[in-house]
Structure 1
Amino acid sequence: MTFDYDLFVIGGGSGGVRAARIASGSHGAKVALAEEYRMGGTCVIRGCVPKKLMVFASAFPGAVDDANVYGWDAQINAFDWRAFSTRMHRELDRLEGIYRTNLEKAGVTLFDCRATVAGPHTVRLADGQEVSAKHILLATGGRAFIPDKWAEAGCMTSNEVFLMQSLPESVLIIGGGYIASEFACIFNGLGVQTSQFYRGAQILRGFDEEVRGHVSDAMIANGVELHLGADILEMEKRDGQTWVKSTTGHEALYDAVIFATGRIPNSDGLGLEELGLTLSANGAIPVDDYSQTAVPSVYAVGDVTDRVNLTPVAIREGHSFADTVFGGTPRKVDHALIASAVFTQPEIGTIGLSEEAASAAGPVDVYCASFRPMHRAFAGREDRVLMKLLVCKRTDKVLGCHIVADGAGEMIQLAAIAIGMGATKADFDRTMAVHPTMAEELVTMRAPLRSAGQ
């Protein structure tokens, strides 16, 4: 059978773009890609990139305060959201252009429209046109979720934050995950009166408990009004603001309310059920180790599969798919040991097991240090760094590394190389410290703080 394309990719985010470029540019496949919004996906357009730019912007007031302690006659005026936003979107346009150019250079045919699956080898475009493909790759990512009860309340999600025309004077963030906590720190740093509701007992569920507590305490000390064990009970518009009452009885008016209550796979309306695919309860597309669905010609990568929802993971999955299907080199993606960063203030870098998970698996030694870093101590700040290693008692292998500090994301990337190679605590101890740095603590913790597990 003759097909219009060897591969048709639905979704122009990180995973889909990588798969298309490798399949076409490296392996010579005839490839097309359809994207209904903007090339680059969530990460580039409405996620990691603009968020990180906002993180940078929010840190300058503290940097200026420190500069005065260090002898500079420094001052900072009011934050100009419009000026920042204009430049931010100019940068996003530039990055989108790079994505588009790289796809075109690789020989990928682009369709700027929505596409759905009309059959095992058929894709239907928004204008009704149908094209055939030997293989179809679904890379439609995830979407922000608002509970049904508040879906029509006129609140923002992380998508709309980047499109604000002005900065609110007060904001309520709903949620306790990394997106909610990052935005709470960002708005607080930009001078916005910031509150955060989370219905759980502590923010950042799934992270190491000690790390969670450390970050939570720091956020509160920095000015975030954090309400734990709190959910929205009532909400209504009042004279241009939003009145909110929580389950704990707290009442307040906010200029903006942002739901950061999680993201779900963006699989609605793609025609997958009609194709015979059974999706998970949240809409995730089940796949095997090679990203293949139950329909042999259809594959899926990235957040729409709800495996590990991180941009580098989607990129690796897309690349591995292309090598497997078109490069003659079957590749699986190991999702077991993946470093990640949370850009709260202070920042988190983490890889491997939490203390709770490690101790549940067997006896571990816990090496942990908390201290005031040189930069902050000199400035008279009480901010503390947390460095933590989980070490297997039987093998001496480092099972987990957790850092809470400025630049933690940069540090954990390097630690991930060692831990990914199976480094032991003895390997860390043999490494000469780089002084004076925060990271040297990772190789100078000689005695465990405590032991855990059976």
Structure 2
Amino acid sequence: MADFDVDLFVIGAGSGGTRAARIASSHGARVMIAEEDRIGGTCVIRGCVPKKLFVYASRFAEDFEDAAGFGWTLGTRPSFDWPTLRDAVANEVTRLSGLYRKGLEGAKVEIREERAVVEGPQSVRLAKSGQIVRARHILVATGGWPSFDPPIPGGELGISSNEVFHLPVLPKRMLVVGGGYIALEFASLFARLGVAVTLLHRGDNILRGFDEDIRTRLRDALAHAGITFRLGCTIERIEELADGTRRAHCPSGTPIDADVILVATGRRPNTKGLGLEQAGVELGPLGEIVVDAATASSVPSIHAVGDVTNRVNLTPVAIREGHSFADSIFGSKRWIVDHATIASAVFTTPEVGTVGLSEGQAMAAGHDVRIFESGFRPMKATISGRQERIYMKLVVDVKTDRVLGVHILGHDAGEIVQAVGIAVTMGATKADFDRTVALHPSAAEELVTMRTPRAG
């Protein structure tokens, strides 16, 4: 061991990196981790955690309205204060970041709060101190970073999801650029906080890669909630007017004026300037680190987990990949992460929960499919008077009867699909669903009471 300062050097203290560092240390490895920003990474600092708290805040407006139908009188009209929410979320982020730090310290992981650059297959340079650290293994877990692709004139006048949590005031008008889950979640929550939201997307529909029935129904629900859609449209340039208004110019149609333009057109693996190419690490077309199923790069001593690999860019996946790496390299317990069946959610309102194959994906894979679906008004809406619908869909293989995919649009869709994801992962059949006794009254019971397949 005299040839190395540490057994493992981790670059990036996000969800995947911290999990790998802690597990490796528990197996007896000497571990050092470097983070140039705040400990916790994208999810904790500027991603799923603060975003979900914002989503909760945005749903209270409808809760107040719904209460009247159930006999509640709220008195004065409820009002919303943006700085109160913004600062409360920031405080929670700080608390969680501190817990991540304590977890690393408790695991006896040495923390370096500065940028780290790969110098070679088994060496890392700390940018601030200039120290060279010799490591038997290097793990890159630097995540992703927002991208505006392609760049446009005036693009610097927009903000990314990194900055949206810290707006000094709640804008009256917001333009959201993008059609993926990040764009839709922010468009949805800001619309429910009272902002006039326009969503611009170059595609002809939102949520590419999701089931078509979910895509269409979610778009219609968001439009009903007041979001204006400009689909099949791109931005040519952005300019700032004399009063500070941002004006987005499109090839066709009228320009769009907004107080804030949120650009959510995607994220790129955060590998720029890390020295990976010089160390011989193969990168993909988006800058992602090309890895095998065991997270190894083209350089055997350098591994990568999480969004920096651009495989499945979800926090729980990064965590499992980090755990798998540490167990396999330092714990003599080799296992790999199965990326085939992963539950995911889109925290719009209404919410999307999905696991397994969409109808289109199943057919493209050669399956002969039978579709079961149910659309209904939730019980709460029958008294509140809200025009709200829940939609559920099962994609079933005709030959094996196996449930290939479950897709839900509606309240608590993410919570429901997490549980049903266990069944799909285990290979449950439609007959297994059918023989499961329903929990009544609940929305989720529809998943086990669908008996008639869709015609055609």
Structure 1 residue 448 corresponds to structure 2 residue 439: no
Name structure 2 gaps, 5 residues minimum: none
Q: Cα gap change, 1:121/1:182 in structure 2, threshold over 3 Å: closer, same or farther?
A: same
How far apart in 2 are the matches of 1:115 and 1:3?
17
Q: What is the 5 A alignment of 1:375-414?
A: 375-414=380-419
How far apart in 1 are the matches of 2:209 and 2:455?
21
Query: Which amino acid in structure 2 is aligned with residue 115 of structure 1?
Result: A
Percent of matched pairs sharing the same residue: 53
Partner of 1:229: 232
Q: Does the 8 A contact of 1:389 with 1:398 survive in 2?
A: yes
Q: What is the 5 A alignment of 1:30-429?
A: 30-74=30-74, 75-126=76-127, 127-147=129-149, 148-150=151-153, 152-238=155-241, 239-360=243-364, 361-429=366-434
Shift of 1:379: 1.3
Secondary structure at 1:253 match in 2? strand
How many residues get paired? 450
Q: Does the 8 A contact of 1:38 with 1:45 survive in 2?
A: yes
Q: Cα gap change, 1:278/1:177 in structure 2, threshold over 3 Å: closer, same or farther?
A: same
Shift of 1:69: 1.3
How far apart in 2 are the matches of 1:363 and 1:250?
45
How far apart in 2 are the matches of 1:199 and 1:216?
15
Residue-by-residue CA offset, 1:337-385 (whole Å, 9 max, x unaligned): 1000000110000000101111232211100111111111221122110
How far apart in 1 are the matches of 2:166 and 2:339?
33
Give the ranges of 4+ consecutive aligned residues of structure 1 lying more than 4 Å apart after TM superposition. none
Partner of 1:10: 11
Secondary structure at 1:257 match in 2? strand
Q: Does the 8 A contact of 2:117 with 2:124 survive in 1?
A: yes
Shift of 1:151: 6.5
Query: Which amino acid in structure 1 is aligned with residue 117 of structure 2?
Result: T
Q: Does the 8 A contact of 2:157 with 2:246 survive in 1?
A: no
Shift of 1:85: 1.1
Q: Cα gap change, 1:150/1:407 in structure 2, threshold over 3 Å: closer, same or farther?
A: farther
Secondary structure at 1:78 match in 2? coil
Residue-by-residue CA offset, 1:384-441 (whole Å, 9 max, x unaligned): 1000000000000000000001100000000000111110000000000111110000
Q: Cα gap change, 1:150/1:67 in structure 2, threshold over 3 Å: closer, same or farther?
A: farther
Partner of 2:22: 21
Secondary structure at 1:153 match in 2? helix
Secondary structure at 1:314 match in 2? helix
Q: Does the 8 A contact of 2:178 with 2:263 survive in 1?
A: yes
How far apart in 2 are the matches of 1:185 and 1:398?
30
Residue-by-residue CA offset, 1:232-269 (whole Å, 9 max, x unaligned): 13321002111122233122311000100000100000
Query: Which amino acid in structure 1 is aligned with residue 396 of structure 2?
Result: V
Select between 401-410 and 354-363 the one with higher mean Cα deviation: 354-363
Q: Does the 8 A contact of 2:271 with 2:287 survive in 1?
A: yes
Secondary structure at 1:33 match in 2? strand
Q: Does the 8 A contact of 2:173 with 2:260 survive in 1?
A: yes
CA RMSD for the aligned pairs?
1.1
Shift of 1:226: 1.2
Q: Does the 8 A contact of 1:61 with 1:76 survive in 2?
A: no
Name structure 1 gaps, 5 residues minimum: none
Shift of 1:129: 1.0
Secondary structure at 1:53 match in 2? helix
Select between 71-80 and 212-221 the one with higher mean Cα deviation: 71-80
How far apart in 2 are the matches of 1:143 and 1:178?
15
Residue-by-residue CA offset, 1:275-317 (whole Å, 9 max, x unaligned): 1122111000001111011111110000000010000000000
Shift of 1:6: 0.4
Q: Does the 8 A contact of 1:285 with 1:305 survive in 2?
A: yes
Q: Does the 8 A contact of 1:302 with 1:309 survive in 2?
A: yes
TM-score (norm 1): 0.98
Select between 364-373 and 141-150 the one with higher mean Cα deviation: 141-150
Secondary structure at 2:278 match in 1? helix
Query: Which amino acid in structure 1 is aligned with residue 65 of structure 2?
Result: D
How far apart in 2 are the matches of 1:368 and 1:225?
28
Shift of 1:79: 1.5
Query: Which amino acid in structure 1 is aligned with residue 403 of structure 2?
Result: V
